[in-house]
Chains A and B, each alone.
Chain A
């Protein structure tokens, strides 16, 4: 029982990170119907930018951890958002209205570019960060097994929920959110009604990149070790989460992220660690066989 609770706590933390990345995938997919393969690498760049920010700030002599984290978060989100904007501008916008596979290949190319750019500029070795937020508290104790909830996990969950709350407010209450939803329903009609669709799509990428950066920073703080390759596996996992939840659905992305996180940690805890990816992908395949449009996705009705 205690062991299961501990695994669930770990799984939820991991799922929060996946969920944040998955939101970016699902948002872009909802609006322009493409898999943004470079999104996982934006997450990786976000993690690198966070590490740089923290290193620079400590070199400048800022010792207060909350202050350093806040400044880094803002800076990293801003720069990563610029990356998201540039990627869209260079690799996707010229291909708008082209056939379906062209942006996909361009996105794969962009993912290779970002990955290798970071490898060339920052080296291939693992970079480590000392744990910044130590400690935690005891949730319960049973038969000598202590269930720990670290402050780090609390912070990850709280930050994720706050970001998602802001994001939900943005999508449901602001005029930008209304444009985004309009583009999602019918981009041609939205253009006819005077919505600047290019700007809306750019901002979607910017917001997605910022959320991925938050996830990247959480990843850095939680695991303390990053390299140029973390984007691929996290990206695939997050995309799996988005598909599992029903691609295009924002609550679905978070739900899918939590599901993938829980499957991974429970499988690692009770079965075998090396096969945790197999478990996550198998669940995806099984769910899609019975619910071909994901958990919360709308069924794709095709008119002839």
Chain B
């Protein structure tokens, strides 16, 4: 069983060896220990359970899923905050598990993190200058003029114009959109290769949302950044990401190019997500939406077989509730972990 999965995974990774791979994740498991009364193992929360993918330099990818599906754990593992239970995470040829704590700190400099709630992510007692100077100080930029120059440069890049007006302000004096620009500037100031953006626009107003997404897009193109965009909002994905990964209960259930996935979703869960996303249209009020019943499973004791099977209308008795699905490729570069597509 295990070898089958690994074989399938090897097949999928082989295709893209021509390009420069920035981040490669192989069969990653991140489990949290559950303890009873503070000691004695009571089980594991299998937050990420067998995730594999590769990212080329300069690629944008969206990870879509509901809360509790393991998106944040995956993100934190990539950021070097969580330690993988099993599997490999290789960034620019370095295996994350084998780094010393010094090297791990350096590794973190190479990754930028854009948080979800800008107001919570910015320390209220620090001015914008102090906030942006902090990463430079920690990473060892000793020259004060250089630090200031870099702060000015990054602030004009995220369009906090005029820079001198903003630089001495505190976060509470800025609007939500401006705060998010500061967060992006802070993520970008060490010139990372990889940016992890965790729902960067979900806390913002609709009118500002697009502005921030376009800014991120422009920065990505200009600096050839690799961006992992974590979201639950499928409607914003196509404006931003070339590829899309759908995550459910700790697994990636579907991986594809964005267009192809939106036009031809394969996994029943992806179909449900697309059906639940509405466009503004008065006709919506006339009909009820077809939503799978129930809620995502507990990750402590996930259902046997396919984790979506208790909610799935297309469940095959005796297959989906018995065997964990392996990854199939019904069309080129479109992977889906679902028994419906077994050749």
> Do A and B come together as binding partners?
no
Interface of A with B (CB < 8 Å)?
A: none
Interface of B with A (CB < 8 Å)?
A: none
